[in-house]
């Protein structure tokens, strides 16, 4: 049995990044870009107005204020998307809209609120310094500038910028195909009303949802029996995927054959059993170089193991460097007793109070109590040597969501 830290280290050491693929812009959202992006042109490409107002010669407005306005002749109106036709001469102004190109001769914009229209002329009520309310060419992005570095996660801002630069397609890390095999003679598929002695295979679905949530593509291989021959056949199919997940059959029961099969047809077995709860009977190895996680069968154990090991692994494969859930310190809302010697991942609800986070357990913590995962937005993580937490004591929590209950107050 090895520690969670050692197991994680071993798992991540086996991570090989996927290759790149060109995808269209929206498909790239949330993924990691594999190329540097340079600006093919200045943004903005030409000087344009930051306000609806009047393009003027700064010198003409010297000394102007509300009580002593300067009167200028309006020579044209320039709408966004249209080009100016006139040069602004001394004593003249051009009415201009936000985003429209600044006409020759003008070197400042006076916003409409600081003017008063008078038929064919306009009164300037302020003195406009040179450059006022003009957006200059390249002030956002300079031609040739590296705007996005390879390895960046493409957030909505990046997607907008790529659109600005005219990049309709970008190279991002491929999404790994993740084969999911649930094992157990007691399992029936979801459409079957389970007869006595049988249960519905739920792990396939919770795992598939977890795979989706971190960018992978789940490939459902259904149910494998507690039978070596059947498992060998199923794993032989599975090894065409990028990663293989199995659930069940890795414990010490008479019919737990997954790790035997991993040993027989696999060519590397890195570890079996991790000092954690839930999720102790985890096996990690590979078949023909394809990483294989032999996850435990209990519905909570399988999900906790996925969170701790498979999720960071899949993110790493997709080029992410931030692969761990955020953690924070919360106050325990209750007393917690735990056996020493293994790290615990307790299902919890974390809420934000005024200036602290409060964590409470979601109820029964058995590894078969899937309901404990339903409500949870976090794990309370208790280290191996801890055996007791008092109510009100600080605990480390790992967040499973970006938004917290009770955090619906604007920052
Ligand atoms: P095992 O590790 O195979 O001994 O399974 C441990 C427990 O998890 C048993 O109670 C199984 O019935 C249950 N289990 C195993 N696989 C699944 C699954 N795919 N869906 C729901 N429960 C499962
Ligand atoms: Mg089983």
Contact between 16 and 317 under an 8 Å Cβ cutoff? The reply is: yes
Q: What is the pLDDT of residues 169-217, one digit of tens each?
A: 999 999 999 999 999 999 999 999 999 999 999 999 999 999 999 999 9
Q: What lines the ligand 1 site, CB under 6 Å?
A: 182, 184, 186-187, 199, 201-204, 247-249, 251, 253, 256, 296-299
Domains of the chain: 4-16+175-317 (3.40.980.10), 20-43+139-173 (3.90.105.10), 48-135 (2.170.190.11), 327-399 (2.40.340.10)
Which DSSP category does 253 fall into?
S
Q: Quick check: 411 pLDDT over 60? A: no
Instruction: Indicate if the pLDDT at residue 405 is higher than 70.
Output: no
Nearest CA to ligand 1 atom 5: 297
Candidate from 180, 196, 197, 199 with most ligand 1 atoms within 8 A of CB, to mutate: 199
State the average pLDDT for the chain: 96
Which residue from 180, 297, 366 has its CB within 8 A of the most atoms of ligand 1, so it is best to mutate?
A: 297
pLDDT at 408 over 80: no
Pocket test for ligand 1, best of 298, 300, 368, 373 (most atoms within 8 A of CB): 298
What is the structure's pLDDT at 410? 57
Ligand nearest to the CA of 184: 2
Residue 386 reports pLDDT greater than 60: yes
Rounded CA separation 356/334 (Å): 15
Q: What is the mean pLDDT of residues 142-149?
A: 98
From ligand 1's centre to the CA of 202, what distance in Å? 9
pLDDT of 348 reads 97
Residues 6+ apart with CB under 8 A from 178: 211, 216, 217, 218, 219, 241, 242, 243, 244, 245, 314
Q: Is the peptide bond between 104 and the residue preceding it cis, with omega within 30 degrees of 0?
A: no
pLDDT band at 278, cuts 50/70/90? very high
Lookup result for tokens 């070596």: 228
What ligand has the least distance to the C-alpha of 367?
Answer: 1
- Atom index in ligand 1 nearest the CA of residue 186 equals 12
Contact (CB, 8 A) for 253 and 219 = no
Q: How far is the CA of 247 from the centre of ligand 1 (A)?
A: 7
Q: Which residue among 187, 224, 248 is best mutated to probe the pocket of ligand 1, counting the most ligand atoms within 8 A of its Cβ? A: 248
| Atom nearest to 249 CA in ligand 1 | 3
Judged against a pLDDT cut of 90, whether residue 354 lies above it is answered with: no
Q: What is the pLDDT of residue 55?
A: 98
Of the listed ligands, the closest to the CA of 185 is 2
d(CA 272, CA 2): 8
Please give the distance, rounded to the nearest whole angstrom, from the Cα atom of residue 217 to the centre of ligand 1: 23
The predicted structure's pLDDT at residue 263:
86
Lowest mean pLDDT among 229-238, 256-265, 294-303, 344-353: 256-265
User: The pTM is what?
Assistant: 0.95
Res. 403: pLDDT tops 80: no
406: pLDDT confidence band, cut at 50, 70 and 90?
low
**Overall average pLDDT of the 137-153 stretch:** 98
| H helix runs in 144-216, sequence order | 156-164, 203-213
Cα 282 to averaged position of ligand 1 atoms, centre (Å): 13
């Amino acid at each position: 049995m090895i520690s969670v830290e050692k197991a994680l280290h071993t798992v991540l050491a086996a991570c090989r990044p996927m290759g790149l693929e060109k995808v269209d812009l929206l498909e790239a959202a949330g993924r990691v870009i594999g190329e540097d992006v340079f600006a093919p042109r200045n943004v903005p490409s030409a000087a344009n107005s930051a306000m609806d107002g009047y393009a003027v010669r700064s010198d003409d407005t010297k000394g102007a204020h509300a009580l002593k306005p300067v009167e200028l002749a309006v020579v044209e109106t320039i709408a966004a998307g249209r080009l100016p036709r006139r040069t602004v001469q001394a004593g003249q102004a051009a009415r201009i809209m936000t985003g429209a190109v600044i006409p020759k001769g003008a070197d400042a914009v006076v916003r409409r609120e600081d003017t008063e229209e008078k038929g064919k002329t306009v009164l300037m009520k302020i003195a406009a310094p040179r450059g006022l309310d003009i957006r200059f060419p390249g002030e956002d992005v300079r031609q040739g500038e590296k705007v996005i570095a390879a390895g960046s996660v493409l957030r909505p801002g990046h997607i907008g910028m790529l659109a600005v630069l005219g990049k309709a397609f970008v190279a991002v890390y491929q999404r790994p195909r993740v084969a999911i095999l649930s094992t157990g003679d007691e399992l029936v598929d979801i459409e079957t009303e389970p007869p006595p002695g049988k249960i519905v295979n739920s792990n396939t679905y919770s795992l598939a949802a977890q795979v989706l949530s971190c960018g992978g593509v789940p490939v459902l291989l259904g149910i494998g029996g507690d039978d070596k021959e059947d498992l060998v056949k199923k794993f032989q199919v599975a090894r065409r995927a990028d990663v293989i997940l199995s659930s069940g059959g890795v414990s010490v029961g008479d019919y737990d054959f997954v790790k035997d099969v991993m040993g027989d047809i696999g060519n590397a077995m890195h570890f079996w059993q991790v000092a954690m709860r839930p999720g102790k009977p985890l096996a990690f190895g590979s078949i023909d170089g394809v990483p294989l996680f032999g996850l435990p069968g209990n519905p909570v154990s399988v999900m906790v193991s996925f969170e701790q090991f498979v999720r960071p692994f899949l993110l790493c494969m997709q080029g992410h460097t931030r692969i761990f859930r955020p953690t924070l310190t919360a106050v325990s809302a209750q007393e917690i007793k735990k056996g020493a010697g293994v790290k615990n991942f307790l299902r919890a609800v974390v809420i934000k109070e005024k200036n602290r986070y409060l964590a409470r357990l979601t109820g029964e913590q058995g590894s078969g109590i899937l309901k404990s995962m339903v409500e949870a937005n976090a794990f309370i993580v208790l280290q191996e040597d801890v055996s007791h937490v008092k109510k009100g004591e600080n605990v480390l929590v790992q967040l499973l969501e970006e938004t917290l209950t009770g955090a619906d107050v604007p920052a």
